[in-house]
């Protein structure tokens, strides 16, 4: 992952959502899953910008799927995480795990 992507939470959230949705990950389902899990609606244009960036960096791949009448005959674009993306997720999990270990319990304390 590039340095800029490592700082972007949305990139990480999107990659995790791709893993959760597996073969059903396309724009609408990704958007709904993000809203359901983090409670915040992200514009579809923003999600596509993230997905395209992940694809450029080799962290995700996409393939066109079926088109349906409710989509005006337009095909769905399904996204999947790549092996490189999975390695990156594991690396980040380990890194975050180490970082959390040094953080004291702060529940109930004022910042």
Among 43, 83, 99, 103, binds another protein (CB under 8 A): 43
Q: Are 29 and 12 in contact (CB under 8 A)?
A: no
Q: Is 49 in the site for another protein (CB under 8 A)?
A: yes
Cβ nearer to another protein, comparing 28 with 38: 28
Minimum separation from the CB atom of position 65 to another protein (A): 9
Least distance to another protein, CB of residue 78, Å: 9
Are 42 and 30 spatial neighbours (Cβ–Cβ below 8 Å)? no
Task: Pick the binder of another protein from 46, 58, 94, 96 (CB under 8 A).
Answer: 46
Window 65-84: residues binding another protein (CB under 8 A): 67-77
- Burial of 98: CB neighbours in 10 Å, binned 0-12, 13-18, 19+: exposed
Which residue, 7 or 68, has its beta carbon nearer to another protein?
A: 68
Torsion of CA 51, 59, 18, 96, to 10 degrees: -110
Chain residues that interact with another protein, rule: CB under 8 A: 26-28, 31, 43-46, 48-49, 52, 64, 67-77
């Amino acid at each position: 992952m590039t340095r800029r992507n490592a700082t972007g939470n949305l990139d990480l959230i999107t990659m995790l959502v791709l893993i959760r949705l597996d073969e059903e990950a396309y724009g609408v389902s990704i958007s709904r899953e993000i809203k359901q899990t983090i409670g915040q609606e992200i514009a579809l244009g923003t999600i596509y910008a993230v997905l395209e960036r992940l694809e450029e960096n080799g962290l995700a791949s996409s393939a066109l799927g079926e088109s349906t009448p409710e989509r005006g005959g337009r095909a769905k674009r399904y996204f999947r995480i790549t092996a490189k993306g999975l390695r990156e997720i594991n690396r980040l999990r380990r890194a975050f795990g180490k970082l959390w270990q040094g953080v004291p319990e702060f529940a109930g304390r004022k910042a």
